[in-house]
Amino acid sequence: MKAEIPEWVIRDARYVEGYKVELWFADGLHSTIDLESELYGRIFEPLKDIVRFREVKFSHELGTIYWPNGADIAPEHLYELARFGVCTVCGTTSGCS
């Protein structure tokens, strides 16, 4: 019996422009998300520098996007933002990842 893949699993991602990242999820959802409002806290503050933000990469191993400074964002949180424009877990556009 084949295990079902959660809908929030990221299949691919790429940098678009500004603070935007394009994401493809396991359930077929395809969305471009502006992550500027996610860039707070010690690990994310350096990414406000657009040169550093553009270093975003996708890792199949991690299953999410990440940056060379060690920052990453939970795929479940990215899925909520992509689907609803707000995270239904914490009720904000940031904060629960």
pTM: 0.83
Domain presence at residue 59:
yes
Domain coverage including residue 62: 10-84
Domain presence at residue 3: no
Q: What is the pLDDT of residues 3-56, one digit of tens each?
A: 788 889 999 999 999 999 999 999 999 999 999 999 999 999 999 999 999 999
The encoded tokens of residue 5 equal 């893949």
**Element spanning 10, H or E:** strand 10-17
Q: What is the CATH number of the domain that holds 15?
A: 3.30.2020.10
C-alpha triplet 15, 16, 18: angle, nearest 5°? 100
Which bin fits 63, alpha (ψ -120 to 50), beta or left (φ > 0)? Answer: left
Report the number of distinct structural domains present in the chain: 1
Residue 94 lies inside a defined structural domain of this protein: no
Q: Is residue 76 assigned to a domain?
A: yes
